[in-house]
Structure 1
């Protein structure tokens, strides 16, 4: 089938990368992106840097290529998979040769009393057809530029903030709010921070770095209720302790936005199930990014979204690439709490592990090697060797005989 017109539901990082790659490979293909946010595509991974004022909102915009049309503030209400048609909320219907679902993921709301979340019973729907949020005043999600702007407006008048969730997003938000002069506390259910990416010693170094910024952390704690009537006044923990707060940030993870796909009859598990060509269960309908599930995995990371966008762009422009999964990589680079992690944090029997720690500087480095290949790594504090190490990890290249040298000398491996 010849593809001339492609419709993309979503205008996030995966969608922007896909449009850019299609334009580079075949400028004769038109790509129309429908984004329900008011902003054109931007790098969501840099939201905390916008909040901390390190970057302006315009600085994190993403290119989409010269042949893409981006329609912002537009919600897609329904997908007709058989006709390859999209019906917009205003009733417009558009048909395409291929449709790409890049609906992303939405914030997970914790099971807390007094959070006040609206249901879909009223007919109100947010991004990707998911329920819209109606949170107690002073409570914020942190997933979009609009969320970022609301937090930035609230921060100057806030005395104490509580971030619920100690993953990548929670740590990023806490660091940004601390940079704005707000007293910040993190409540995290897990035994240590960012447990998806860090081992216990690395998390301890991160914890010490946060303490130096004045951020307090409550581990192995669950927030069970918010206090306050018209606006939030605090967070009640499961042990009964109450943290005073006039600003709450919800950073409890994300969930793939799949309502549009499910309503259209596509196969959905945790995410929209795709094959190695990023095709869904319906011919001509594809999915990429945080909403897509491949081989049982939903990565939820920018690197994986871009991998998928590249493979799909190649496929739709006549290439033979197939998607085989992505190697997980995470990086936070701004400020004193620089973190990079890739691969699984644990080591198998027979793996070689190299660790270097400097508690006086809250620095920690760890490499996991299987034979002469790098299979995982964690860097806290000093990221001078991160680029070389992640390249070796991505390319699955053999390592030199002395891997410790890679941790000590920037640019030692290229």
Structure 2
């Protein structure tokens, strides 16, 4: 029998684990697999970081697969060991300073890096990001009694960080440079409902707030806004977005744009090397979201075992809970001029639904409070099927059960 192909996977996050699960389901034992993760623990659920920060769950509850799962599937797992170089010519991965792993095929699932705003004082002790277990530990250690925390960024991670701090009883203020939170996913009405929910959780919300700098003598003490406002702070959490991790790929000469460039099979510019998840750029898009990463992982697993599979991109939809409030968004968020929008809004109940219709087809949906029709919305947006009157009623008011005929 010929020796198994040596497959090395760099990165052990959510995308990497999904790829390994699909590969072992479809072709157990086909490859000699080694996985290298920079973090000291195996893959865990980053979606639960705010719950971890707020003390609702512990680290164990965030885990996906125990070490026995990797061992049981013949996968060598190396944790706490960053890959420092890839030698494409000789087919080698360098781990740390001296450890070398040969490969026949290589998968880069190296994720992304949190963006740090290039502000004066951004490197002061007490200024942290919110991306992994280490960040949560740093935030919790700084969130002492009577501490004042500033969260910069009104996207999902910023909101989650602020809610987690508020759960700890920390005096928390969220700053966002835009005039509404989650502006890529929510229109103004939906964003106001989310803002109200955040305030109800004890978070002070400051919108259209442009941060000018972070100040302090040896550690963070205050945040200064461009309008001159000064806010006291013992802790500053920067949560202003992520960027694909491309340094390793660039250093070994792979093609990169915003992310590591891949084709429909997740193949990079080197046919032996593949990339998926937040580090990958497909058809000019680096998604930075879980759903596309999982779809890419499924495609790559099938491709590597010789099945017909191609990734054509992901029609983005967001479904989540913000401060306990269910939120769903897909397609067009802000209604363009000349298009139809149907809305239902009950501010007191925290309910909002909007359908954007173009040429008789559903082009976008934003729901807050009740998202029970999200699956049907995604289906209609992706298929482009004509929207019937019954569809409109069902999506806005819920699908009605057929009435029984009277005897």
Q: Same fold (TM over 0.5)?
A: yes
Contact conserved, 1:111 with 1:224, CA < 8 A, in 2? no
Please list, as runs of the form range in 1=range in 2, the aligned pairs for 1:312-323 lying within 5 A after superposition.
312-323=300-311
Q: Which moved more, 1:59-68 or 1:3-12?
A: 59-68
Indicate the residue corresponding to 1:338 in structure 2. Answer: 326
1:298 to 286, 290, 293: 286
Indicate the residue corresponding to 2:113 in structure 1. Answer: 106
Indicate the residue corresponding to 1:361 in structure 2. Answer: 349
Distance 1:138 1:316 in 2: 45
Deviation at 1:389, TM superposition (A): 3.6
Contact conserved, 1:48 with 1:173, CA < 8 A, in 2? yes
Structure 1 vs Structure 2 CA RMSD:
2.4
Deviation at 1:237, TM superposition (A): 0.7
Q: Structure 2, unaligned stretches of length 5 or more?
A: 402-407
Q: TM-score, normalised by structure 2?
A: 0.89
Distance 2:333 2:4 in 1: 42
2:204 to 197, 202, 216: 216
Distance 2:236 2:199 in 1: 19
Indicate the residue corresponding to 1:289 in structure 2. Answer: 277
CA deviation vs aligned residue, 1:24-61 (integer Å, no higher than 9, x gap): 11012233211111111011122112212222222222
Contact conserved, 2:147 with 2:171, CA < 8 A, in 1? yes
Please list, as runs of the form range in 1=range in 2, the aligned pairs for 1:5-404 lying within 5 A after superposition.
5-28=6-29, 29-63=31-65, 66-116=73-123, 136-333=124-321, 335-347=323-335, 352-370=340-358, 373-390=361-378, 393=381, 401-402=389-390, 403-404=392-393
Deviation at 1:373, TM superposition (A): 5.0
CA deviation vs aligned residue, 1:113-172 (integer Å, no higher than 9, x gap): 1122xxxxxxxxxxxxxxxxxxx2222210001111222233243522110011111111
Number of aligned residue pairs: give it: 393
Q: Which moved more, 1:34-43 or 1:180-189?
A: 180-189
Closer, same or farther in 2 for the Cα pair 1:379/1:84, shift >3 Å?
Answer: farther
Q: TM-score, normalised by structure 1?
A: 0.88
Deviation at 1:205, TM superposition (A): 1.4
Deviation at 1:407, TM superposition (A): 3.5
Indicate the residue corresponding to 1:132 in structure 2. Answer: none
Q: Which moved more, 1:325-334 or 1:194-203?
A: 325-334
Distance 2:230 2:131 in 1: 26
Contact conserved, 2:109 with 2:279, CA < 8 A, in 1? yes
Distance 1:389 1:156 in 2: 44
Distance 2:269 2:207 in 1: 41
Distance 1:398 1:96 in 2: 50
Distance 1:395 1:54 in 2: 39
Closer, same or farther in 2 for the Cα pair 1:397/1:150, shift >3 Å?
Answer: farther
Deviation at 1:368, TM superposition (A): 2.8
Contact conserved, 1:158 with 1:247, CA < 8 A, in 2? no
Contact conserved, 2:4 with 2:32, CA < 8 A, in 1? no
Distance 1:4 1:399 in 2: 50
Distance 1:410 1:36 in 2: 47
Distance 2:315 2:110 in 1: 22
Indicate the residue corresponding to 1:130 in structure 2. Answer: none
Contact conserved, 1:301 with 1:329, CA < 8 A, in 2? no
1:407 to 376, 383, 396: 396
What secondary structure sits across from 2:389 in the alignment?
coil
Q: Structure 1, unaligned stretches of length 5 or more?
A: 117-135
Closer, same or farther in 2 for the Cα pair 1:3/1:269, shift >3 Å?
Answer: farther
